[in-house]
């Protein structure tokens, strides 16, 4: 099998290619690419193979072929393209073209070395809010579903009105079109399927650090106060040992305070929350929009519904619904390697029950009793009001190294 050449091509077809690239294409015996790329070579007389799906099958076909093969790819084959996949599977030579990002920023007339690039091409926009929030310069690679209109509606739903957008369509082709849009304008406009969207933050927006004040969260009334208090929340999040890509379960999410703060840490991961009280869920949804965290929330009584969630790197349990042993068994069995389970207990009975259940599952535990008092003015002086003591139980597998001190 000869070395496969992967050649990037622009929307202007053959005109985007160097003469030597065109020579290699016409000298090949098998030309591989998407329908759009292959349509630029109607005069190619040898075998063509359209890439549709199933890249593993494509690799097997190419490995078993004795023909001279050229693969066509859009723009830079190594930038969210087929080049990165094929280069790991076989010997290839890659000849990039200009990427859509390079062309788009050239139209803007601005540098893009500080831009954050996020692909929503063929992917869900779920979690996009926390990934974008606070960034000055974001480029989005779109598709026909996750198009500029859908992006504008999504961002407006989370109140992200500080962003303006530059949309570049059909870059490099005769149908090329570019323009600046406010989100309200963009949601009602129409665009062609081939486009990229650049978001620029044009004004200041709310900024929240870890340990969001309790009063900032919408809470159930008249039972206001059913929330994991800020100090306990921060300690619990610390013990969960979250990474930027962590998958988190928030069981008994209530107002969503822990899940929301977890989502702001695990921006490239995902948060899955479950809550049995419908009124609490309404507050949770409101808080998600305010704090710009797009987590998956389910109205259910745990452990029912957990089967719909992917295996977690971290689990927070704020409420068990009276089925603690069954719940902990599921969480322990589903937890990923080096994962953490953090449970908040308000009573010594729950502390004992949870401790015994974790031991039966072969988990080690650390327990912190948080006794928090907050200052409160009285006349021209201050006194302290004590919050209810909370036991913070952190569980991890017995065979793993202890990383939480």
Distance in Å from the first CA to the final CA of the chain: 56
| Same domain as 289, residue 192 | no
273-282, 315-324, 349-358, 387-396: range with lowest mean pLDDT: 315-324
| Same domain as 224, residue 359 | yes
Q: Which residues of 102-141 are buried (b: 16+ CB within 10 A; e: fewer)?
A: ebbbeeeeeebeebebbebeeeebebbbbbbbebebbbbb
Q: Does residue 386 carry a pLDDT above 50?
A: yes
Polymer length of the chain: 405
Whether residue 265 lies inside any domain: the answer is yes
pLDDT, one tens digit per residue, over 345-364 is: 999 999 999 999 999 999 99
| Same domain as 114, residue 154 | yes
Tokens standing for residue 118: 């996020």
Q: Residue 65 — pLDDT band, cuts 50, 70, 90?
A: confident
> Residue 99 burial (CB < 10 Å; 0-12/13-18/19+)?
buried
Q: Where are the alpha helices (DSSP H) in 114-206?
A: 128-132, 148-157, 183-186
pLDDT, one tens digit per residue, over 161-214 is: 999 999 999 998 889 999 999 999 999 999 999 999 999 999 998 889 999 999
Give the torsion through C-alpha atoms of 249, 252, 253, 258, to 10 deg.
Answer: -60
Q: Does residue 389 carry a pLDDT above 50?
A: yes
| Same domain as 88, residue 107 | no
Backbone angles phi, psi at 233, to 5 degrees: -60, -45
| Same domain as 111, residue 67 | no
Mean pLDDT, residues 219-237: 85
Domain that includes residue 16, residue range: 4-98
Q: Where are the alpha helices (DSSP H) in 189-256?
A: 230-240
| Same domain as 219, residue 367 | yes
Backbone angles phi, psi at 397, to 5 degrees: -65, 140
Whether residue 402 lies inside any domain: the answer is no
Whether residue 267 lies inside any domain: the answer is yes
Confidence (pLDDT) at 399: 65
| Same domain as 139, residue 39 | no
Among 171, 201, 231, give the residue marking a domain's end: 201
Confidence (pLDDT) at 220: 81
Looking at the whole model, is its pTM more than 0.85? yes
| Same domain as 264, residue 137 | no
Bridge partners of residue 166, in order along the sequence? 180, 198
Contact 155/138 with Cβ under 8 angstroms?
no
| Same domain as 265, residue 179 | no
Q: How many domains does the chain have?
A: 3
Contact 251/317 with Cβ under 8 angstroms?
yes
Q: Does residue 405 carry a pLDDT above 50?
A: no
Q: How far is Cα of residue 106 from the mean position of the Cα atoms in its chain? A: 28
3-class DSSP state of 187: coil
| Same domain as 128, residue 22 | no
Place of tokens 């290699």: 24
The closest of 207, 214, 238 to 374, measured between CA atoms, is 214
* Rounded Cα distance, 198 and 112, in Å: 10
Provide the CATH number for the domain around residue 61: 3.40.1010.10
Query: Which stretch, 53-67, 192-206, 390-404, has highest mean pLDDT?
Result: 192-206
Mean pLDDT, residues 134-162: 96
Q: Does residue 403 carry a pLDDT above 70?
A: no
| Same domain as 387, residue 243 | yes
Q: Residue 400 — pLDDT band, cuts 50, 70, 90?
A: low
């Amino acid at each position: 099998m000869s070395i496969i050449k992967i050649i990037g091509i622009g929307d202007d077809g053959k005109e985007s290619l160097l003469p030597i690239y065109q020579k290699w294409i016409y000298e090949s015996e098998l030309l591989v690419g998407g329908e759009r790329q292959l349509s630029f070579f109607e005069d190619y007389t040898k075998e063509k193979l359209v890439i549709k799906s199933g890249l593993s099958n494509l690799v097997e076909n190419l490995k078993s072929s004795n023909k001279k093969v050229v693969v066509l790819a859009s723009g830079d084959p190594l930038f969210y393209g087929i080049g990165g996949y094929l280069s790991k599977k076989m010997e290839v030579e890659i000849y990039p073209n200009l990427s859509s990002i390079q062309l788009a920023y050239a139209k803007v007339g601005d540098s893009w070395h500080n831009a954050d690039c996020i692909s929503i091409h063929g992917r869900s926009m779920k979690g996009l809010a926390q990934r974008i929030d606070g960034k000055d310069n974001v480029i989005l690679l779109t598709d026909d579903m996750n198009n500029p209109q859908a992006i504008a509606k999504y961002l407006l739903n989370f109140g992200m009105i500080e962003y303006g957008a530059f949309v570049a369509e059909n870059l490099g082709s005769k149908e090329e079109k570019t323009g600046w849009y406010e989100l309200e304008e963009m949601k009602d406009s129409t665009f062609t399927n081939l486009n990229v969207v650049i978001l620029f933050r044009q004004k200041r927006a709310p900024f929240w650090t870890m340990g969001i004040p309790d009063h900032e969260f919408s809470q159930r009334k008249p039972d206001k106060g059913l929330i994991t208090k800020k100090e306990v929340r921060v300690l619990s999040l610390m013990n969960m040992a979250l990474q930027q890509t962590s998958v988190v379960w928030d069981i008994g999410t209530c107002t969503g305070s822990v899940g929301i703060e977890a989502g702001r840490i695990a921006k490239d991961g995902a948060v899955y929350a479950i809550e049995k009280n419908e009124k609490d869920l309404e507050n949770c949804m409101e808080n998600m929009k305010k704090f710009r965290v797009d987590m998956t929330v389910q109205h259910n009584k745990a452990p029912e519904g957990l089967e719909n969630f992917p295996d977690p790197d971290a689990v927070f349990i704020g409420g068990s619904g009276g089925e603690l042993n069954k719940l902990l068994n599921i969480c322990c069995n589903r937890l990923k390697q080096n994962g953490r389970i953090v449970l908040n207990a308000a009573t010594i009975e729950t502390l004992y029950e949870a401790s015994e259940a974790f031991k039966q599952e072969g988990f080690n535990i650390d327990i912190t009793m948080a006794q928090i008092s907050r200052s409160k003015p009285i006349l021209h002086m201050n006194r302290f009001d004590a919050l209810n003591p909370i036991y913070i139980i952190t569980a991890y597998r017995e065979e793993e190294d202890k990383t939480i001190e």
